Amino acid sequence: MPKPSLLEQLNYIAKEADSQLESAASEADIESWRVAYLGRQGRLTMLLRNLSSLPIDDRRVVGLEANRVKKLLEEKLNGRQQALKEAGYSRSLLEGGIDITLPGRPMAIGRLHPTTRILREILEAFTSMGFSVLEGPEVEWEHYNFDALNIPSEHPARDMWDTLWVDWADPSSQERNMLMRTHTSPMQARVMENNEPPIRVVVPGKCYRYEASDATHEWHFYQVEGLAVDTGITFADLKGTLYQFAKRIFGQDRQIRFRCDYFPFVEPGVDMSIDCFSCNGKGCRICKESGWIEILGAGMVHPNVLQGVGYDPKKYTGFAFGMGPERIAMLKYGIDDIRHFYTNDLRFLNQV
C-alpha cells in the first residue's frame, strides 16, 4: 500500500481531531486534546516538521493547507472551551445552591427631600383653591426686592432683610443694583406687571440672607409667596383662604388667629398663628406655653404697590402672604433645627 500523501494525512488528522474534540467533556479533556494535536509534540506539529522533506512546490501547497487546518482547530478549541464554560455556569446555577426562589435584596432608592415634600403639600393646598404656581429669579434687582414693594432706599424697613448684594457694573449706566432675593415677595410686582387681574398665584423659591445661621435661621431657605388681586377682594378672602390652608396642612380641628404686624408692602399687615396642634392650645414646649404657633405673614396689598405696577387701587384690591416651608415642615414633622435640611446627612434625610 502506498504511503498516504502528506495532504491525505492532514485531512485525516483534521477529521479525527474534530470528532475527538466533540467528545471532550471537561476542561482536562480539552487540554489533553490540545496537547495531542496542537502541542509541541502534537500530531499536527510533527506533521509540519516533515514539510522540509518535500519538493519545493508541494511544500507550498501542503504548507498552506496545514496552516488552514491549524487555524481551524484553534478556532474550534476556543469555541469548545466557551461552550463548556457556559454549560458550567448553568449547571452551577441549577445544582450549586443558588436558591432562585429567595426574595431579592432590596435596592436603596432615593426619596423626596423634606423641603420638596412640604412644598408639594403647600402648593397643592393652594392649587386646589384655584391658585397657579409660578417661579421667579433668585438673583434679583433691588427695584423688585425693595422699591416696588414700598421699601425705598434709606427706608428703615430695609433692615428687616439683611441682604447679599451682587457685585456688578451696569453697562447701561442706570446704576441698577443686583442682589440675592431676600424673600419671594419681589414676584408680586413681576406678576402684576405682566398680567391683568384677576390674579391668583403662589410662588415657591429659594431666598438668601446675609446672616449667621442657628437652629431657626439659615442664610438660604425657601419661601412660598401668595398673591390674589381682583375687584372686591377683602380681608375676609384672606382669612378664608389661609384658614383652609392651615386646616389642610395641620388638621381639620385647627383654629387660626391674626395679629397686627408690619410689612411695608401690605396694609393692614398681619401675622397668622394656628392653635398648637401638639397641646391643642393648653400650652407646651412646642408653642412655648402660649398655645399658639406663628406660621406666616400676610396682609392686604398696599395701594402704593398696586399703583407702582400701574393698577388702579380704587378699582383693585388684593391680599398677599408669605411663609417659610422649612418652618412649616419643622412644626409638622417635629424637626428641631433648620440646619438639618441642607447638611445632607442621610440619617436625617432617610427618616422622611
Using CB under 6 A, list all residues that contact ligand DAH: 183, 185, 225, 263, 266, 297-299, 320-322
Least CB distance from residue 188 to ligand DAH, whole Å?
Answer: 7
Prior bond of 152 cis (ω within 30°): no
Residue nearest to ligand DAH (CB): 322
Least CB distance from residue 230 to ligand DAH, whole Å?
Answer: 16
Least CB distance from residue 300 to ligand DAH, whole Å?
Answer: 8
Nearer to ligand DAH, 19 or 153 (CB): 153
Residues 6+ apart with CB under 8 A from 234: 317
494535536: which residue's cell?
A: 37
Least CB distance from residue 326 to ligand DAH, whole Å?
Answer: 13
At 108, list the grid cell: 436603596
Nearer to ligand DAH, 299 or 308 (CB): 299
Helices 56-95 and 6-22 pack at an angle, to 10 degrees, of 0
Nearer to ligand DAH, 81 or 244 (CB): 244
Query: Which of 317, 274, 271, 316 lies closest to 298, judged by CA?
Result: 271
Least CB distance from residue 174 to ligand DAH, whole Å?
Answer: 25
Nearer to ligand DAH, 145 or 329 (CB): 145
Q: Which residues of 105-131 are buried (b: 16+ CB within 10 A; e: fewer)?
A: eeeeeeeeebbebbbeebbebbeeeeb
At 269, list the grid cell: 399687615
As a whole number of angstroms, the distance between CA 181 and CA 43 comes to 86
Number of other residues whose CB lies within 10 A of the CB of residue 239:
16
Number of other residues whose CB lies within 10 A of the CB of residue 214:
10
Least CB distance from residue 322 to ligand DAH, whole Å?
Answer: 2
Residues with catalytic roles: 161, 183, 209, 223, 266, 320
Q: Are 324 and 272 in contact, with CB atoms under 8 Å apart? A: no
Nearer to ligand DAH, 77 or 207 (CB): 207
Q: Which residues of 10-47 are buried (b: 16+ CB within 10 A; e: fewer)?
A: beebbeebeeebeebeeeeebeebbeebbeeebbbeeb
Sheet holding 292-301, edge to edge: 132-133, 199-208, 220-230, 317-323, 292-301, 266-275, 256-261
Nearer to ligand DAH, 44 or 271 (CB): 271
As a whole number of angstroms, the distance between CA 281 and CA 132 comes to 33
